[in-house]
């Protein structure tokens, strides 16, 4: 079987003000037929450009591309006609219904009329959209949109399928369903799939992985082979008497540890390549910390995320050593700064939030988990005073921000789900604006802007337009803007959605450090692994609270006989499926 | 909180002026419109194409023709020699007007018998037709008076001594160009303000703004200021162009003009922000602006006099702020008006401004909710 | 399945999709059917260049029978709504306050001079700010005065005969009703809005929303995409044209003297030119906001200002006249005014349609060249 996709020395550059940007730099690879290959790389590594070059949407400057036996240079349109491609935006017409979108693509692919009913039935069942055929696709949740986008492409199953970050902003349940669909296509139709993603657990499931960085392909291997490169360098650290995220702050700055991240009820360590750490020395260093007991380091299997970080992490340590840990486990001032009682929000007949109650203590990282449309963002918007509650009561630092005076909003910082700073203002102009909007004094403004630029390493970008920043930097800027006025309470709505693992780690390091200074953080996320950074979690579905507690308590909810050590993700899916019986996806 | 309002205004300015394309939209079209409108929009006709069918051999018709030749308004393009040639010339738009001297034109005049002068006009564009007819009438008027004084046995029982005030040579550019000040200022201010809230809403930055300690009123002021300031700047540029490039006399009180502009901008900004607050997307905002602007311009008296409109529509024009500003700009430029005479134009704009801004504030509070 | 059959199915898919989107988006319907009604009513009823009932001030310092006969001529005229003043000062103020447009001033020695056989002066003052209106007002005043002269001559016994009498014949629009030419011209404006403004925005939207990226990577060819966009908006534009024509004929009593089929043919040509320009704008801008701004600037404003719709092209400076030659609406306005008011005047129709055909070919070639299956 010949490969459906071959690239030889393909390059693509874009003209820019200062210098041409080489987005794809001399890329060559051959895709293994009938398998799923992952295209992995940090933000702005050229993944989308590469996808577009392979779909004839952009013309390569040089090199040779062969798709399904066709030559890109001469048979571009024939290539576009035969492969399947889902762009990041899913390519759906939001003012058409689900059925109308399917009809459109069936027509575009000239699927004979008599075959359509059967095909529609299969696709609708597979995607679980049977009940929504008459709904406008713009009114579907993110996960449903993405499944519909996939269904539109699968109307006539292509032998080569290209998916550009299909799972960005999609909850774990929907992600799992999407992958089931993809793997079924591969199994049934012998389809070859190339999928770009920032979820490294997805990469781990791929047959092969292409690792891309700064326009170059760094390697093409099976995930296990990638993982082998780290043999002997990955460890698990366990301890008692301290919060893991607090312990983490003591590890991040060490030069003998390349990376430390939170695992499920442990800390995952990668030792530095040149200067691997000495276990005994590390343990004795850590024993100096107060209250810490039962320290234990054991070797752990390498994961693909480790490979990614080990390959791409800048060797220069970005963080300065932390200050002494101020507070210890179970903070002594369990004062509730956010109190929510029977909060409800209705939109017409639809109840988005159904009488939930919870409270958040000072200095706590409180996580809100849930599928798309679970009511997380609505809850956030109510807490920030952007949306009135239909009933129930809420207080944030003693105020209901809807009715409190405007100055009460000085206590909070808010980072919206979508990048929402002024795209055509520069980084420093954005920061200055928010500093002034929060009424900081002149000298304080300069001080805080300087702080933001250095802390978030934005100095090089201070005159760039915010809209033109790489995704990870946009997220840093939003974070910085929300912190300009040093709020007591931070609301972060999916702050890590769509950004790469390195940027995600940096983000959590910063959040962790903030929490240590006594700031209360309320955060939503789709990355279940990140839930481990939270002190307490609340899992929501359809506007209701399914469970609440510490990560350990949540994990225990899913502990069964055949799964002794469930992850937060397992627990989450378990809770969701218990709440709504799963559709029979495999039928 | 003055600082925060000012910060918001500065942010609006930066957002408008940093982007090359939106800067171009702010500067290019207004200037282009000024030039195109300034030169193209004229009701003065030059070189009206005339064909002559002269069956008369006498001196009188020759005299008349030489008067037409001497007029800058007319351009004789063809002499016709038979009746059947007339229709195609008019039909095919070769000439707008045909002047027919009958065989006895001169003899009749000599005998003191009324001589008919037949004029055939293309009425397809009735406005042009009417203006040309007016021109030919005034040539005839002078011809008659001259003929009567030279050949007449008895002079006319009275004479008419017409004088035109303010625009002595009846140049339509003197009428149109001061109007452009209002027109362009309205277009620019409306587009800026109508897009301002809608854009923030579409881009999601609005939420970020609302979680700051700024109150809705402060946000409203911060958004209104750039519109007013940019409107004033654009208006000033056009005023300078009008006075020095197009040589329109500026006879009245500049302060009175700027007071009018300020009140006008207040009402324009109020309307723009109201459209913006109602719209959820930029496309809706643009469409809303369009739907307001077209009638507002047509009913303002910019090109066609309000007095010619039916009474009901005349009442409607009182809601149009551009109506008042046009009287002010033309009044100050040509008639030399000052504050007292323009007072009846000031207060309606103030009322429109306050009403729309208050409504916007109210909608704002409601929509934000 | 053969390739022609699948191309047909793809096109059908595009057409259904566009049709649904038009039906769901109130703004297309608003531009196609509501805006025409608003514009028609404004131009048909509101905006008029025809001056009637001009308010003028008559200053009679010493009223008597002679002055009464002159002022009577003014009150009888439908062109004027006279107001009487006893002093020029009062009239002056009224003129300044825009209560009147002109003044006819009969001084206190008017009658005595008239009776003595002297020639009294009648001073006429006109507010010239609106030059057009001023010229018309002055013309009417002169006309009324001549009428009075004849009347007075008859009364006083000695026959007065004006030397040359104007015998005017206005063809095509004898009553000089401005509605009759503004309303047909509006069709060009409305079709420009649909063909260029609306079309450029809806095509640009495909780029804005990322749907272009998805449907280009299907068997759909860019030409099929363009045709799929052209046909629905062509139908919408023609529908709006027929709607406007219907309203013009039955609601606004505009005669259609020429052939309906020629109207249909020339509208088709103009609609295609507008669509080609709209497509070109969207291909170049790929962004709704910019597409909208460019459309207003290069199609809507020229159609309004430079097409001969309101302002006469022959009176513009040479350079501006040259610019009007590349404004398609100019040719269509000429066709419309001729077809509606004058009939099938072939030389006019052929010349203007020829120009439209040339423009169509020109823009079609550019659109064809600029459109690719790529994003850049």
Q: What is the pLDDT of residues B345-365, one digit of tens each?
A: 999 999 999 999 999 988 877
Helix (H, G, I), strand (E, B) or coil at A262: strand
Question: Å from A76 to nearest chain C CA?
Answer: 9
Residues of C in contact with A104 (CB under 8 A): 13-14, 16-17
CB contact under 8 Å between C124 and B175, yes or no, is no
Answer yes or no: is pLDDT of A324 > 50: no
Hey, which residues 107-166 in chain C have their CB within 8 Å of chain B? 110, 114, 119-136, 138-139, 141-143, 145, 149, 152-153, 156, 158, 160-166
The mean pLDDT of A366-392, rounded to a whole number, is 87
Q: What is the pLDDT of residue B99?
A: 92
> Burial, C157: exposed, middle or buried (Cβ in 10 Å; 0-12, 13-18, 19+)?
exposed
Distance from C-alpha of A351 to C-alpha of C189, rounded to nearest angstrom: 47
Answer yes or no: is pLDDT of A416 > 90: no
Calculate what percentage of chain C has a pLDDT beyond 90: 28
Among the residue ranges A578-587, B140-149, C165-174, the one predicted with the least confidence is: A578-587
Question: Å from B290 to nearest chain A CA?
Answer: 23
Segment A314-318 long-range contacts (CB within 8 Å, at least 24 positions apart): A317/A252, A317/A253, A317/A255, A318/A457, A318/A506
Packing angle between helix B2-18 and helix B216-240, nearest 10 degrees? 50
Domains and CATH numbers, chain A: 5-226 (3.40.50.300), 230-312 (3.30.70), 336-579 (3.40.50.300)
Q: What is the pLDDT of residue C355?
A: 96
Among the residue ranges A268-277, A482-491, C249-258, the one predicted with the least confidence is: A268-277
Answer yes or no: is pLDDT of A322 > 60: no
Question: Å from C245 to nearest chain B CA?
Answer: 17
The mean pLDDT of A482-499, rounded to a whole number, is 87
Calculate what percentage of chain A has a pLDDT beyond 70: 94
Distance from C-alpha of A350 to C-alpha of A445, rounded to nearest angstrom: 44
Q: What is the pLDDT of residue B90?
A: 87
> What are A329's two structure tokens?
């486990």
Hey, which residues 357-376 in chain C have their CB within 8 Å of chain A? 373-376
Q: What is the pLDDT of residue C237?
A: 92
Higher pLDDT, A147 or A42: A147
The mean pLDDT of B119-131, rounded to a whole number, is 85
pLDDT, one tens digit per residue, over B293-320 is 888 988 888 877 888 788 888 898 999 9
Answer yes or no: is pLDDT of B152 > 70: no
Answer yes or no: is pLDDT of A325 > 50: no
pLDDT, one tens digit per residue, over B226-265 is 999 999 999 999 999 999 988 899 989 999 999 999 999 9
A449 φ, ψ (degrees, to nearest 5): -65, -45
Task: Give residue A108's pLDDT band: very low, low, confident or very high (50, 70, 90).
Answer: very high
The mean pLDDT of B197-213, rounded to a whole number, is 83
Residues of A in contact with B369 (CB under 8 A): 387-388, 402
Calculate what percentage of chain A has a pLDDT beyond 90: 30
> What are B191's two structure tokens?
């587009």
Average pLDDT of chain A? 85
CB contact under 8 Å between B211 and A414, yes or no, is yes
B309 CB within 8 Å of a chain C CB: yes
Closest-CA residue of A relative to C4 is A110
Q: In chain B, what is the greatest distance between 2 CA atoms, to the nearest angstrom?
A: 93
B255 CB within 8 Å of a chain C CB: no
Residues of B in contact with C296 (CB under 8 A): 29
Q: What is the pLDDT of residue B335?
A: 85
The mean pLDDT of C85-96, rounded to a whole number, is 88
Q: Provide the CA A394 distance to its chain's centre, in angstroms.
A: 29
Answer yes or no: is pLDDT of A237 > 80: yes
Closest CB to C217: pick one of A80, A100, A107. A80
Residues of B in contact with A403 (CB under 8 A): none
Least Cα distance to A244 among A218, A268, A280 occurs for: A268
Element spanning A54, H or E: helix A47-54
Task: Give residue A583's pLDDT band: very low, low, confident or very high (50, 70, 90).
Answer: very low
B328 CB within 8 Å of a chain C CB: no
Answer yes or no: is pLDDT of C286 > 60: yes
> What are A150's two structure tokens?
């996939």
> What are B37's two structure tokens?
């409108």
pLDDT, one tens digit per residue, over C108-162 is 888 888 888 777 888 888 888 887 788 888 888 888 888 888 787 777 665 556 6
Answer yes or no: is pLDDT of A323 > 50: no
Q: What is the pLDDT of residue B233?
A: 92
Neighbours of C, requiring at least 3 CB pairs below 8 Å, are A, B
Task: Give residue A15's pLDDT band: very low, low, confident or very high (50, 70, 90).
Answer: confident
Buried b (16+ CB within 10 A) or exposed e, A520-531: bbbbbbbbbbbb
Q: What is the pLDDT of residue C22?
A: 87
Q: In chain C, what is the greatest distance between 2 CA atoms, to the nearest angstrom?
A: 103
Q: What is the pLDDT of residue A315?
A: 42
Answer yes or no: is pLDDT of A584 > 70: no
Count of alpha carbons within 13 angstroms of residue C127, beta-carbon side:
26
Q: What is the pLDDT of residue B155?
A: 58
Q: What is the pLDDT of residue A326?
A: 44
Question: Å from C42 to nearest chain B CA?
Answer: 7
B144 CB within 8 Å of a chain C CB: yes
Q: What is the pLDDT of residue C44?
A: 78
Strand-strand pairing, B159-165 and C121-127: parallel
C286 CB within 8 Å of a chain A CB: no
Residues of C in contact with B67 (CB under 8 A): none
The Cα-based distances of A104 to A195, A406, B323, B365, C224 in angstroms read 24, 49, 50, 42, 14
Least Cα distance to C305 among C167, C188, C172, C214 occurs for: C188
Among the residue ranges A319-323, A455-459, B179-183, B264-268, the one predicted with the least confidence is: A319-323
CB contact under 8 Å between C209 and A89, yes or no, is yes
Closest-CA residue of A relative to C207 is A91
The answer to whether A159 and A68 are in contact (CB under 8 A) is yes
The mean pLDDT of A372-394, rounded to a whole number, is 86
Answer yes or no: is pLDDT of A209 > 60: yes
Residues of C in contact with B167 (CB under 8 A): 128-129, 131, 134
Hey, which residues 25-44 in chain B have their CB within 8 Å of chain C? 25, 28-29, 32-33, 36-37, 39-44
Q: What is the pLDDT of residue A334?
A: 65
The mean pLDDT of B197-205, rounded to a whole number, is 82
Task: Give residue A17's pLDDT band: very low, low, confident or very high (50, 70, 90).
Answer: low
ipTM above 0.90, yes or no: no
Strand order in the sheet with A160-164: A84-86, A160-164, A192-197, A36-40, A208-213, A216-221
Rg (CA), chain A: 25
C237 CB within 8 Å of a chain B CB: no
CB contact under 8 Å between C164 and B117, yes or no, is yes
CB contact under 8 Å between A93 and C211, yes or no, is yes
Least Cα distance to C343 among C170, C172, C180 occurs for: C172
Q: What is the pLDDT of residue A536?
A: 92
What residues are paired with A240 via a beta bridge?
A: A293
Q: Provide residues of A within 8 Å CB-CB of chain C.
A: 52, 55-59, 76-77, 80-96, 100, 103-110, 112, 149, 152
pLDDT, one tens digit per residue, over C167-192 is 777 787 777 777 888 888 889 988 99
C76 CB within 8 Å of a chain A CB: no
Answer yes or no: is pLDDT of A570 > 60: yes
Strand-strand pairing, B115-122 and C164-171: parallel
Task: Give residue C4's pLDDT band: very low, low, confident or very high (50, 70, 90).
Answer: confident
Q: What is the pLDDT of residue A465?
A: 85
Best A403, A437, A441 residue to mutate vs chain B (most B CBs within 10 Å): A437
Hey, which residues 215-234 in chain C have their CB within 8 Å of chain A? 215-221
Answer yes or no: is pLDDT of A51 > 90: yes
Q: For domain B48-151, give its CATH number from 3.20.20.210, 2.40.50.1070, 3.40.1710.10, 3.40.50.1000.
A: 3.40.1710.10
pLDDT, one tens digit per residue, over A431-487 is 999 998 888 888 999 999 999 998 888 888 888 888 878 777 888 899 999 999 889
Residues of A in contact with B226 (CB under 8 A): none
Answer yes or no: is pLDDT of B368 > 90: no
pLDDT, one tens digit per residue, over A183-193 is 998 998 889 99
> Burial, C13: exposed, middle or buried (Cβ in 10 Å; 0-12, 13-18, 19+)?
buried
Q: What is the pLDDT of residue A585?
A: 38
Task: Give residue B270's pLDDT band: very low, low, confident or very high (50, 70, 90).
Answer: very high
Task: Give residue B52's pLDDT band: very low, low, confident or very high (50, 70, 90).
Answer: very high
Distance from C-alpha of C303 to C-alpha of C280, rounded to nearest angstrom: 17
Answer yes or no: is pLDDT of A329 > 80: no
The answer to whether B195 and B282 are in contact (CB under 8 A) is yes
Answer yes or no: is pLDDT of A359 > 70: yes
Closest CB to C219: pick one of A58, A94, A109. A109
Segment A459-462 long-range contacts (CB within 8 Å, at least 24 positions apart): A461/A427, A462/A426, A462/A427, A462/A428
Element spanning C59, H or E: strand C54-60
Strand-strand pairing, A412-415 and B48-54: unpaired
Task: Give residue A2's pLDDT band: very low, low, confident or very high (50, 70, 90).
Answer: confident
Strand-strand pairing, A365-370 and A391-396: unpaired
Question: Å from C181 to nearest chain B CA?
Answer: 6
Buried b (16+ CB within 10 A) or exposed e, B64-86: bbeebeebebbbeeeebeeeeeb
Q: What is the pLDDT of residue A229?
A: 84
Q: What is the pLDDT of residue A587?
A: 33
What is the residue extent of each domain of chain B?
A: 2-41+171-368, 48-151
Question: Å from B5 to nearest chain A CA?
Answer: 8
Task: For residue C104, give every residue at least 6 positions away whose Cβ sits within 8 Å of its Cβ, in sequence order, or none.
Answer: C56, C57, C58, C59, C74, C122, C123, C124, C141
B115 CB within 8 Å of a chain C CB: yes
The owner of tokens 């009224």 is C94
The answer to whether C201 and C289 are in contact (CB under 8 A) is no
Residues of A in contact with C25 (CB under 8 A): 95
The mean pLDDT of B180-184, rounded to a whole number, is 89
Distance from C-alpha of C105 to C-alpha of C58, rounded to nearest angstrom: 6
Answer yes or no: is pLDDT of B369 > 50: no
Answer yes or no: is pLDDT of A18 > 70: no
Least Cα distance to B320 among B342, B343, B296, B288 occurs for: B296
Question: Å from A423 to nearest chain B CA?
Answer: 8
Distance from C-alpha of A558 to C-alpha of A566, rounded to nearest angstrom: 6
The mean pLDDT of B125-138, rounded to a whole number, is 84
Neighbours of A, requiring at least 3 CB pairs below 8 Å, are B, C
Q: What is the pLDDT of residue C159?
A: 55
Residues of B in contact with A413 (CB under 8 A): 211
Q: What is the pLDDT of residue C292?
A: 80
């Amino acid at each position: 079987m010949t490969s459906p996709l071959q690239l030889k020395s393909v390059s693509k550059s874009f003209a820019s003000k200062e210098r041409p940007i080489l987005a794809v730099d001399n890329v060559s690879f051959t895709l293994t037929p009938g398998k799923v290959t992952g295209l992995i790389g940090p933000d702005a590594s050229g993944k989308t450009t590469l996808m577009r070059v392979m779909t004839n949407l952009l013309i390569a400057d040089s090199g040779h591309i062969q798709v399904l036996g066709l030559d890109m240079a001469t048979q571009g349109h024939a290539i576009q006609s035969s492969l399947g491609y889902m762009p990041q935006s899913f390519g759906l017409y939001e003012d058409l219904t689900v059925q109308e979108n399917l009809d459109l693509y069936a027509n575009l692919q000239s699927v004979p009329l008599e075959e359509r009913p059967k095909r529609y039935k299969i696709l609708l069942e597979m995607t679980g959209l049977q009940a929504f055929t008459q709904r406008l696709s713009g009114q579907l949740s993110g996960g449903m949109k993405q499944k519909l986008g996939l269904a539109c492409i699968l109307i006539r199953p292509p032998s080569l399928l290209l998916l550009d970050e299909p799972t960005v902003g999609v909850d774990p349940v929907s992600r799992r369903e999407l992958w089931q669909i993809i793997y079924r296509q591969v199994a049934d139709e012998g389809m070859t799939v190339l999928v770009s993603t920032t979820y490294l657990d997805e990469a781990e499931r791929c047959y092969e992985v292409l690792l891309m960085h700064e326009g170059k392909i760094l390697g093409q291997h099976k995930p296990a082979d990638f993982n082998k490169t780290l043999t002997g360098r990955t460890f698990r650290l366990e301890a008692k008497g301290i919060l893991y995220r607090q312990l983490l702050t003591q590890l991040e700055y060490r030069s003998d540890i390349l990376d430390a991240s939170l695992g499920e009820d442990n800390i995952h360590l990668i030792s530095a390549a040149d200067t691997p750490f000495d276990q005994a020395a590390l343990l004795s260093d850590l024993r100096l910390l107060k209250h810490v007991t039962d320290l234990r380091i054991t070797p752990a299997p390498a994961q693909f995320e480790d490979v990614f970080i080990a390959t791409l992490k800048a060797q220069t340590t970005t963080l300065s050593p932390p200050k002494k840990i101020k507070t210890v486990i179970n903070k002594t001032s369990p004062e509730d700064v956010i109190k929510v009682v029977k909060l409800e929000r209705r939109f017409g007949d639809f109840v988005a939030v159904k009488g939930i109650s919870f409270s958040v203590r000072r200095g706590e990282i409180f996580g809100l988990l849930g599928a798309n449309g679970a009511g997380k963002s609505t809850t956030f918007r109510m807490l920030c005073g952007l949306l009135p509650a239909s009933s129930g009561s809420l207080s944030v630092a003693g105020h209901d921000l809807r009715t409190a005076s405007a100055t009460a909003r000085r206590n909070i910082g808010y980072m919206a789900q979508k990048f929402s700073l002024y795209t055509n203002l520069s980084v420093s102009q954005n920061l200055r604006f928010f500093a002034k909007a929060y009424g900081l004094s002149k000298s304080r403004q300069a001080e805080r802007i300087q702080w933001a630029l250095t802390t978030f390493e934005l100095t090089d970008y201070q005159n760039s337009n915010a809209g033109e920043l790489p995704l990870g930097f946009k997220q840093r800027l939003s974070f910085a803007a929300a912190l300009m006025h040093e709020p007591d309470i931070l609301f972060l709505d999916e702050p890590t959605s769509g950004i790469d693992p390195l940027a995600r780690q940096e983000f959590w390091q910063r959040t962790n450090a903030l929490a240590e200074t006594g700031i209360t953080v309320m955060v939503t996320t789709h990355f279940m692994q990140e839930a481990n950074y939270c002190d307490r979690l609340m899992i929501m579905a359809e506007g209701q609270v399914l469970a609440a507690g510490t990560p350990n308590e949540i994990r225990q909810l899913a502990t069964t006989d055949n799964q002794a050590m469930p992850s937060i993700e397992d627990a989450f899916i378990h809770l969701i499926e218990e709440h709504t019986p799963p559709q029979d996806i495999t039928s | 909180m003055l600082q925060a309002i000012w910060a918001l205004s500065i942010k609006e300015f930066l957002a408008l002026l940093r982007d090359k394309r939106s800067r171009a939209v702010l500067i290019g079209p207004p200037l282009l419109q000024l030039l195109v409108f300034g030169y193209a929009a004229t009701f003065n006709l030059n070189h009206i194409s005339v064909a002559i069918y002269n069956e008369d051999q006498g001196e009188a018709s020759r005299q008349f023709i030489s008067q037409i030749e001497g007029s800058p308004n007319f351009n004789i393009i063809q002499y016709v020699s038979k009746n059947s040639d007339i229709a195609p010339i008019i039909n095919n738009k070769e000439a707008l007007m045909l002047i027919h001297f009958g065989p006895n034109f001169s003899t009749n005049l000599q005998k003191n018998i009324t001589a008919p002068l037949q004029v055939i006009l293309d009425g397809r564009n009735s406005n042009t037709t009417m203006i040309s007819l007016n021109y030919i009438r005034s040539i005839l008027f002078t011809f008659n008076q001259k003929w009567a004084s030279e050949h007449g046995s008895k002079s006319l029982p009275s004479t008419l001594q017409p004088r035109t005030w303010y625009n002595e040579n009846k140049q339509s550019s003197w009428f149109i160009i001061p109007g452009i000040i209002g027109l362009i200022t309205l277009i620019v201010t409306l587009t800026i303000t109508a897009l301002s809230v809608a854009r923030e809403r579409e881009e999601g930055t609005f939420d970020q703004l609302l979680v700051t300690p700024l109150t809705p009123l402060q946000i409203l002021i911060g958004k209104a200021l750039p519109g007013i300031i940019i409107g004033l700047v654009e208006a000033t540029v056009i005023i300078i162009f009008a006075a020095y490039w197009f040589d329109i006399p500026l006879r009245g009180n500049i302060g009175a003009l700027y007071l009018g502009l300020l009140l006008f901008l207040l009402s324009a900004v109020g309307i723009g922000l109201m459209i913006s607050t109602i719209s959820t997307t930029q496309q809706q905002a643009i469409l809303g602006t369009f739907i307001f602007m077209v009638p507002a311009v047509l009913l303002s008296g910019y090109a066609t006099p309000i007095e010619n409109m039916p009474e009901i529509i005349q009442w409607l024009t009182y809601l149009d702020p551009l109506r008042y500003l046009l009287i002010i700009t033309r009044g100050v430029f040509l008639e030399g008006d000052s504050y007292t005479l323009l007072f009846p134009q000031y207060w309606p704009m103030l009322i429109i401004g306050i009403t729309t801004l208050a409504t916007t504030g109210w909608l704002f509070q409601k929509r934000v909710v | 399945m053969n390739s022609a059959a699948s191309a047909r199915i793809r096109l059908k898919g595009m057409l259904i999709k566009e049709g649904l989107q038009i039906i769901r988006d109130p703004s297309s319907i608003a531009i196609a059917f509501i805006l025409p009604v608003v514009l028609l009513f404004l131009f048909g009823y509101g905006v008029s260049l025809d001056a009637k009932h001009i308010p003028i001030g008559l200053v009679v310092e010493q009223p008597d029978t002679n002055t009464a006969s002159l002022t009577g001529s003014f009150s009888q005229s439908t062109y004027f709504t006279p107001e009487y003043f006893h002093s020029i000062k009062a009239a002056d103020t009224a003129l300044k306050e825009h209560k009147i447009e002109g003044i006819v001033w009969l001084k206190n020695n008017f009658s005595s001079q008239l009776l003595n056989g002297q020639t009294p002066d009648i001073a006429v003052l006109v507010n010239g700010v609106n030059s057009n209106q001023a010229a018309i007002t002055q013309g009417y005043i002169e006309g009324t005065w001549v009428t009075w002269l004849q009347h007075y001559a008859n009364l006083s016994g000695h026959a007065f005969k004006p030397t040359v009498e104007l015998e005017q014949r206005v063809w095509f629009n004898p009553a000089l009703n401005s509605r009759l030419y503004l309303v047909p011209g509006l069709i060009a404006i409305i079709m420009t809005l649909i063909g260029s403004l609306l079309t450029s925005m809806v095509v640009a939207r495909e780029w804005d929303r990322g749907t272009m990226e998805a449907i280009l990577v299907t068997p759909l060819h860019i030409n099929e995409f363009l045709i799929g966009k052209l046909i629905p908006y062509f139908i919408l534009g023609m529908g709006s044209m027929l709607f406007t024509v219907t309203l013009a004929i039955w609601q606004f009593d505009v005669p259609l003297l020429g052939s309906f089929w020629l109207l249909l043919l020339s509208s088709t040509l103009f609609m295609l030119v507008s669509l080609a320009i709209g497509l070109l704008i969207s291909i170049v801008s790929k962004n709704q906001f910019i597409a909208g701004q460019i459309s207003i600037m290069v199609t809507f404003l020229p159609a309004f200002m430079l097409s001969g719709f309101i302002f006469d092209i022959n009176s513009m400076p040479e350079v501006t006249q040259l610019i009007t030659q590349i404004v398609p609406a100019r040719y269509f306005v000429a066709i419309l005014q001729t077809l509606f008011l004058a009939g099938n005047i072939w030389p006019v129709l052929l010349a203007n349609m020829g120009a439209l055909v040339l423009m169509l070919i020109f823009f079609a070639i550019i659109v064809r060249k600029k459109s690719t299956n790529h994003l850049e």
